[in-house]
A = this chain, B = another copy of it.
């Protein structure tokens, strides 16, 4: 899930970039540290990729868009990797059919890791000894963000892959690597944060990195609305199930009801009836665990999130509402992005007002929150030219926007303008919801 950058690392010196490069690349390696070569082969569905593919594909990005771009005469030691680990960039040549990525036993995990190490060394050597032009540095920063996207996908794809194993393996049993362990429970009742009507601006302002689809920053008019101060919890979702939520077509979008019927959905993905207190256990990266009532409900499709909201006599927020509320409300859990100075309630925006003394809980991290917004271009959006530009624009159809980030999203990757997107039936991301309603 790469993208075109609008990076502006003008003040970034190469030494700090090199350190960041090492940090991000190591983080990817560390996710795979305890995994077996066989684990890295798992491709449970066409939409998920094997971990080995993620490892190789993120490496391919740096080789292609940094190393090869800077050194036209450079020869690749594995030229065929270009074909094998390319993704959507049709303009760079043919690519392997997506659903067949799991059939690549060769190169082996060891070879892919070896290749990672070689490219890392080559990259650090380049950063150390050469003064790179801004476009190349932009590509490097883009590559790091691209790799962070794949870190999250690596986790979600692996979780799905392991879930088919009747042994119910525990991938990351220890607390320091178990992302799901870190999800903050929602102990208090939901409260509503109100936002007044008016013209707002949303979208990335160009300071710091963002993917191309986060801009241009632009005006939108919003009617007044209320947004829940926290996500919907498992305990609340259990009431929906108990109230026959999965059996009442009037609560569902037409396509959603078709998905419920076709897939026999009766609960979120990974939930299984059990003898636990709530009657349900769930598959996690640390094996089977009881469903806990105060956790944000997770692994929902858009259809389920939408049906739950209708059942609760509420609705999903639009992405403009969500982003506006994050900009205007006090955040309960200041994340790294606040420290960066990029985000703050802006008095320059027309109509802005911090309309609530309440804090917005768990907005960044925890679970991705489905919005009511289909994923389309912002006004004035133009894809970047060339190969990197192919990406984000071409998926602007049949997908819904999710906001906020999850327990599997790297901390430094969280930001309020980030637009994640998946088809409405997708459930294997860490996806939940937050309610909204009109005023």
A residues near B (Cβ < 8 Å) are 36-42, 44, 52, 80, 83-84, 88, 90-91, 96, 100, 102-109, 161-162, 164-167, 169, 199, 218-223, 249-250, 252-257, 302-303, 306, 372-374, 376-377, 379-380, 390, 394-398, 424, 438
Contact = CB atoms under 8 A, between A and B. Distances in A.
B199 A221 contact: yes
Contacts of A41: 38, 41, 105
Contact of A166 (B80, B108, B249): B80
B221 A162 contact: no
Given A166-B84, A398-B255, A38 B109 contact: yes
Contacts of A302: 397
Contact of A103 (B42, B222, B396): B42
A105 B42 contact: yes
B424 A398 contact: yes
A298 to B, nearest CB: 21
A161 B36 contact: no
A225 to B, nearest CB: 8
A394 B254 contact: yes
When all copies of this chain in the complex are counted, the total is: 4
A412 B222 CA distance: 33
Contacts of A103: 42, 44, 161, 164-165
Contact of A167 (B44, B80, B220, B398): B80
B253 A38 contact: no
Contacts of A44: 103
Contact of A395 (B164, B169, B253, B398): B253
B162 A105 contact: yes
A206 B251 CA distance: 27
Nearest to A88: B254
Contacts of A372: 376-377
A36 B105 contact: yes
Given A104-B165, A254-B395, 18 more contacts: A36-B37, A36-B106, A37-B37, A38-B109, A39-B106, A41-B105, A83-B166, A88-B254, A105-B162, A105-B169, A106-B167, A106-B169, A250-B390, A253-B394, A253-B396, A373-B376, A379-B438, A397-B424
Contacts of A37: 36-38, 108
B380 A223 contact: yes
A3 to B, nearest CB: 14
A36 B253 CA distance: 37
A397 B253 contact: yes
A162 B106 CA distance: 9
Contacts of A396: 253
A162 B108 CA distance: 13
A105 B137 CA distance: 39
Nearest to A112: B38
A105 B38 contact: yes
Contacts of A254: 88, 394-395, 397
A165 B105 contact: yes
27 contacts: A37-B38, A38-B106, A39-B106, A41-B41, A42-B105, A83-B166, A84-B166, A84-B167, A88-B254, A100-B164, A103-B164, A103-B165, A104-B165, A105-B161, A105-B165, A106-B167, A106-B169, A107-B167, A219-B221, A253-B394, A255-B398, A257-B394, A302-B397, A374-B374, A374-B376, A397-B424, A398-B398
Contacts of A91: 249-250
A40 B169 CA distance: 19
